[in-house]
C-alpha cells in the first residue's frame, strides 16, 4: 500500500516529538570525532512546503510546530536551527523531514541511508538530498534490505523507524526489524515512532520490547487528548533503545511544558519513562 504521504501531516505534534528526539540523538553522535551512519527506513520526501495544497488541506502544523516560537524555547535551539536551515528568510514555510534534519548533522565521513517506496516521494527525496554526497537514497523496501547494512562499518549509528502503520502488520514488522538489527548491532541507537490510534496495539508492542531481552529502552509519548478509538491518532510516541545519556533528563523537563503548549483543551498528556533498565 503506497497511499500514505507525509506531506498531509508535516509539522504536526507527532513530528515535533519525533524530531526533537532525533535531533538529540544526532547531536550526541556528532559530538565525537568518529564517523556514524544514519538509517531512515521510511524517509518520505524529506522536505515539506507548509503552504502547499496537501499541507493546507489538514493544516496539522497549526497544532504543532506553528504553535512554538524559538525565542520561547531556548532548550530546543538545535531543533529550531534545523528548521531554520530550510528557511533562509527566517519565516516558517518549509518543514524538514527526518532526512533533511539528518543531513544538517552529517560530516564528510558520515553516511545516511534513506529508504522510500512511494514513487513520487522518492523522486522528491532524491532532489532534496542531491547535494549531499554522504546520502544514499533508494526506492526499496527498508524492511527487506536495511539489515544487509548492519552493522555499519563505522560501528556507530542510529536507525529511525517510522512507518505509516496503514498496514496492521507494520506493528509486528518493526519489532522484528529492530530485534534483528539489535542482534547484529547491539550498540546502535534505535528510535521507533508509533501513533496511538488503538492503545491495545501499543501496549502489545511495548510488551514485546520489554520481553525481548534488549536492555536500555526508554519511552517518550505526547498526546493532545485521551485515548479514543473514534478520533484517530490522539497521541504519538518514541521508543528509543540505547538513548543518549542526557535524553531522559531533557525530555523529563521538556514534555510537561510541551504538552501544555500544544494542548487543544481536550486534555493533553505525556509519558516519559524507562521501559527496560540498562
**Which domains are delineated in the chain?**
6-276 (3.40.50.150)
Q: How far is CA 139 from CA 142, 144, 158, in A?
A: 9, 12, 20
For 118, which DSSP code?
S
Distance CA 24, CA 108 (A): 20
Best CA proximity match to 113, nearest among 28, 168, 42: 42
Strands 235-241 and 189-196: what pairing? antiparallel
Residues with a catalytic annotation lie at 162
pLDDT at 88: 85
pLDDT at 1: 47
Distance CA 26, CA 191 (A): 11
pLDDT at 4: 59
pLDDT at 266: 79
Best CA proximity match to 271, nearest among 142, 75, 254, 263: 254
Matching residue, cell 533528563:
249
pLDDT at 3: 53
CA dihedral 122, 126, 127, 129 (to 10 degrees): 130
* Mean pLDDT (10-residue bins), the chain, 278 residues: 70 96 98 98 94 86 94 96 90 95 97 96 96 96 94 98 91 97 98 95 97 98 85 91 97 96 89 97
Tell me the residue length of the chain.
278
Amino acid at each position: 500500500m503506497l497511499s500514505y504521504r507525509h506531506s498531509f501531516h508535516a509539522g504536526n505534534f507527532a513530528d515535533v516529538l519525533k524530531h526533537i528526539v532525533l535531533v538529540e540523538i544526532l547531536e550526541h553522535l556528532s559530538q565525537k570525532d568518529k564517523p556514524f551512519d544514519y538509517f531512515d527506513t521510511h524517509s518520505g520526501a524529506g522536505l515539506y512546503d507548509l503552504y502547499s495544497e496537501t499541507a493546507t488541506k489538514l493544516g496539522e502544523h497549526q497544532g504543532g510546530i506553528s504553535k512554538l516560537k524559538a525565542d520561547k524555547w531556548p532548550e530546543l535551539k538545535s531543533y529550531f536551527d534545523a528548521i531554520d536551515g530550510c528557511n533562509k528568510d527566517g519565516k516558517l514555510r518549509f518543514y524538514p523531514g527526518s532526512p533533511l534534519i539528518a543531513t544538517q548533522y552529517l560530516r564528510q565521513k558520515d553516511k545516511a541511508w534513506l529508504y522510500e517506496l512511494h514513487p513520487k516521494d522518492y523522486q522528491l527525496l532524491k532532489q532534496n538530498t542531491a547535494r549531499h554526497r554522504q546520502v544514499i537514497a533508494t526506492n526499496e523496501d527498508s524492511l527487506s534490505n536495511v539489515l544487509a547494512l548492519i552493522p555499519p562499518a563505522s560501528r556507530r549509528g542510529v536507525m529511525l523507524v517510522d512507518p505509516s502503520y496503514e498496514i496492521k502488520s507494520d506493528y509486528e514488522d518493526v519489532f522484528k526489524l529492530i530485534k534483528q538489527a539489535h542482534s547484529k548491532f547491539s550498540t546502535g541507537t534505535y528510535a521507533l515512532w508509533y501513533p496511538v490510534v488503538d492503545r491495545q496495539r501499543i501496549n502489545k508492542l511495548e510488551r514485546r520490547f520489554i520481553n525481548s531481552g534488549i536492555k536500555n529502552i526508554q519511552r517518550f509519548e505526547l498526546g493532545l487528548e485521551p485515548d479514543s478509538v473514534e478520533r484517530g491518532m490522539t497521541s504519538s510516541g518514541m521508543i528509543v533503545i540505547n538513548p543518549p545519556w542526557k535524553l531522559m533528563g531533557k525530555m523529563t523537563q521538556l514534555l510537561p511544558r510541551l504538552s501544555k503548549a500544544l494542548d487543544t483543551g481536550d486534555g493533553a498528556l505525556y509519558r516519559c519513562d524507562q521501559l527496560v533498565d540498562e
